Structures are given as structure tokens and as C-alpha cells.
Structure 1
């Protein structure tokens, strides 16, 4: 029988994923990260990544899933073991290529230690949004047009591995998600919208990047996303079906309905 390790980042996703699993996984987390609602069994440091991965095999782990937010760490050169230090040039080169390139490098490294890597969609498909309208209100023509524009913007950014979201209102791209994530993009939009038209309306579009390895860093929304969208004056959220995680779905949909926000997923 497979033994699973959950490499947990910040936020609610690790606990929600663990609740969907038949058996409790070995919960691992980078030093300094405390996933919400989960006790960490095995903390680790990125400077000692090789010994950590070897320790998983020693514990009988054969499968790994990654879930939750992990920001790029500050590395302490004094803490590296020799084997992990030898990996640093490859990691730094991958980081220059963007988040997806870095995650591909990490997945390949985990597999080099004879560990299988699965994604959230493999283990808890119910967390992934299906095509259709999720909210009480369906999007109107203007919102659908903004969503189409947003999807085109994100498709144009695919080759440079920039982000998984953008905001479009009246056909204008107000913001593109970059390193600081969706919450920061929404907060920045809320701060700047009073300064120019259109001051309200618009759609947040979330989708995976073309060619992205879907075993890590799937786009994720939850109640906080709805709160941020409401503060930014948005009226719609368009998601990519089969590629976006919806956390605490009942609460997320209730918050969207209370805010009058249309929430839907497209192929």
C-alpha cells in the first residue's frame, strides 16, 4: 500500500486536501511555515533538501503531494549539506525561468529520490472546479467579454511564465498577477480603482499556464478571493474548468452570492 507524504505550505489547502484522503499523510512543511489546521510531523529546511527527501524513503514513503503556498525562501549558506549545495546551481537556473520552471525542477528532484509525485487533482478531484455556472447569478455579456479578454491576456503571457490571473474591466486589463499573487493583485486594484474609470465592474480570470505541470501550484480561490474581488469592485470571477481549486466551496459560493458576484468556469 502506498505511503503518502504531504509537503504542506501556508493556507487552508493542505488541511482541506488531507480531509479528502482515506488515511492521514505524513505532514511535512518548510521550517517557519505552519499550515492552517494541520500538525506538522516533519519540518525541513531547503538547505538540507537532499537529506529530507532521503528521510522520506527511510520512513517508507513512496508518494509525495505538494499543496499550499510556499514563497521563495532566503537560503543560509552555512546550513547547506554537501549534497544539497551541489544542487543549488540547477535550482537558481530554474528560478530564473519562473515559478513553473522552479516547480518542475523540484518535482524532477523528488522523482530522482525514487518518490512518485501526485497532484491535488489525482487525490481529491472534488476540489477542482467543473465547467459551468457555480453562483446564483450567471455572467452577463459584458462580463463574458471581459473574461474572454482576460483569457487572451493570460495566453499571451504563457511563454514568459508570469502568472495565473488577471483583472479586466470594460475590455481594459487593470492588473496581471505576478510574484506576489492574487491577493496582492486584488488589493492593488482596490487601491487604484478610485483614481480612474472604470471604477467598478470587471472580472478576475484565473487559469493554469499552458504546459504547466498540474501536480503543483494549481490556481486556487477561496472566501478571501471573493472578499478581495468585492473590495476591488469586481462583479465576476471566471475560472478554468478542471484546472482551478475552490477552497471551502460552500462558503466561497455563499460569499459570491452575497456580493452579487458571478462565478463560473469555462473549458
Structure 2
């Protein structure tokens, strides 16, 4: 069987292959769907109930809604629609409570995976889910495999660049982000004046930046100017889902917190709405920089 490569990607599809998207919140699932459609592979979209915030943009595609509590019907749904490849894209803000999971024959098969995944944290959940789907004949692919242009590149992405003091913040923030990532807590940290002032928790990057803004407005970091948001993949992270990402809203929130810029891990982070994100940063005078995935080796 001859496979065709989706232009500009590493994804190869055979005749009859069909790509599904489990769509959460944010712009990522929208961009993935548009990317697939633009390459002649319109996706089947599974809208996660209560999570999707740009639902109208999925109207051109074949779709179905799924509640988190109906996770047991996911594999039958995928099989019913002939899905061969699946992308997990977008933010899922809550987890289903085991007591609320709706009984089904499919659930009986996957409940051990669900229990294990919930016990292991976010990245453990994603890894187990991916393995479980692939064991049932559905290949899980990353959003970055479909739209490589979303992946942050190494080096400066904006007109503004980090100063010497910003690099001290970048180094401190990166070390902290990797440390909490190893514990599967979060992917980001904010450093100001060479020290870490806030770590990402369950509230996500938006909540992290709001805390940084409040600390500055309350005078808790008085006398300290600038500062940097640093986002990195967790050590050993499942790279096919939940890669660190930034977008225009991240830039606005970083600016509101009084930060000088954003540093992300090149190759392992996504820049959503890329042109708009870079343009917004340039307009506000913030820098965005991609850090090499290897150990930081900047000469201060």
C-alpha cells in the first residue's frame, strides 16, 4: 500500500487513513484541523464537552462531542468513524472523577488504564492513554508532527533580545521549570532579579502570570524590574501531547506582569498563532527566545 506524506510534515498517510482530533480548549486544535484540511486530509473532530472554547471554528469538519465521563466509549467511537491516527490537542482543564465515569463495555477494558493514569499525574495520564490507544490499533501523533511550523526554533524570535540580567533570570527560571517538571507539577517558572518568584501549578501559565502580576503590584518584588517567563518540556515528557505552548494571550499576560520577555525550549515548545504572537511581542517590546534543548550554555 502506497503512503503519501502530508506536505511539510513527518506524517505519512496511506489511502483510507483518517485523522481524528481530540479537541480541548485554545487555538491548537483549530490550527491542527486547519493544517490537515489544507493538506487535503480533513479531520474528524471529537469535541470535549465543556472544554472547547472555539467550537464554531470546527463547523466545517465532521465531528462528535464526548464528555470526559464517557471515556470508555472513546475507542468504539474512533473505530466507528474509521479513525486510524489521533491527535490530542488543546487544554483539558479538569479530570473525570472515577465515581462519575459512565458504565460501558469499553470502559471495562480501559478502566485499569484510567486508574493508573490518574494516579501518575498529567504526563503519566498522557503516556498511558497513548499506549492504550496504540495497543488498539490507533496511532497517536503529535500536533508538531502535523504542523512543524508551530515548533519554536532556537534563537531570538523577536526584535527585542535578552539583556545580561535577563539571562540570569532565564537560567534561574529554566532550572526551576525543569525541577518542577521532573515532579510532574508544571512546565513554567517566572524569575525576577535572578531568583525564581513563582512556579506553575494546576492553574496553568495564565494563573502563574497573574500571581506574578499580583506580587509586583503588592510590592512583594519592589525594586525589581523586568523578569522572564520560562517554559520547558518536562524531563522524559510524552511529546505527542501537552507540549509547552505560548500565544498572544501569554504575551499580553507577561507584559501585564511587568516581564521583559519569554523563553521557551526550542524543538519542544509550540508558538501558537505564530505571526500574531510575534507581532504582539514586538509591539509591546517583549523578547521571545528559543532555548536549545541541551543544557543552557550562554556566556554571561
Mind listing any 5+ residue stretches in structure 2 that lack a counterpart? 1-14, 293-300
Alpha-carbon shift at residue 152 of structure 1 (Å) = 1.2
Q: Which residue of 1 aligns with 2:9?
A: none
Partners of 1:215 and 1:59 in 2: CA distance: 22
Partners of 2:175 and 2:20 in 1: CA distance: 37
For 1:20, what is the secondary structure of its paired residue?
helix
Partners of 2:106 and 2:143 in 1: CA distance: 29
Mind listing any 5+ residue stretches in structure 1 that lack a counterpart? none
Partners of 1:197 and 1:158 in 2: CA distance: 25
Q: 1:144 to 1:156 in 2, by over 3 A?
A: same
Alpha-carbon shift at residue 186 of structure 1 (Å) = 0.5
Q: Which residue of 1 aligns with 2:42?
A: 24
Q: 1:16 to 1:208 in 2, by over 3 A?
A: same
For 2:268, what is the secondary structure of its paired residue?
coil
Partners of 1:182 and 1:128 in 2: CA distance: 18
* Length-normalised TM-score, structure 1: 0.93
Asked if the contact 1:223–1:252 (Cα under 8 Å) also holds between the matched residues in 2, the reply is yes
Give the root-mean-square deviation of aligned CA atoms: 1.8
Deviates more, 1:54-63 or 1:36-45: 36-45
Partners of 1:135 and 1:111 in 2: CA distance: 39
Q: How does 1:132-147 map to 2 (within 5 A)?
A: 132-147=155-170
For 1:167, what is the secondary structure of its paired residue?
strand
Q: 1:149 to 1:29 in 2, by over 3 A?
A: same
Q: How does 1:151-190 map to 2 (within 5 A)?
A: 151-190=174-213
1:53 corresponds to 2:68: no
For 2:242, what is the secondary structure of its paired residue?
coil
Higher RCO (CA < 8 A, seq sep 6+): 1
Q: 1:232 to 1:78 in 2, by over 3 A?
A: closer
Which ranges of 4 or more aligned residues in structure 1 deviate by more than 4 Å?
A: none
1:239 corresponds to 2:254: no
Residues 52-72 of structure 1 show CA distances to partners (whole Å, capped at 9, x for unaligned) of 212212222110011100122
Q: How does 1:248-259 map to 2 (within 5 A)?
A: 248-259=273-284
Partners of 1:191 and 1:89 in 2: CA distance: 42
Deviates more, 1:132-141 or 1:67-76: 67-76
Partners of 1:41 and 1:20 in 2: CA distance: 16
**How many aligned residue pairs are there?**
267
1:66 corresponds to 2:88: yes
Pick one of 120, 127, 130 that aligns with 2:153: 130
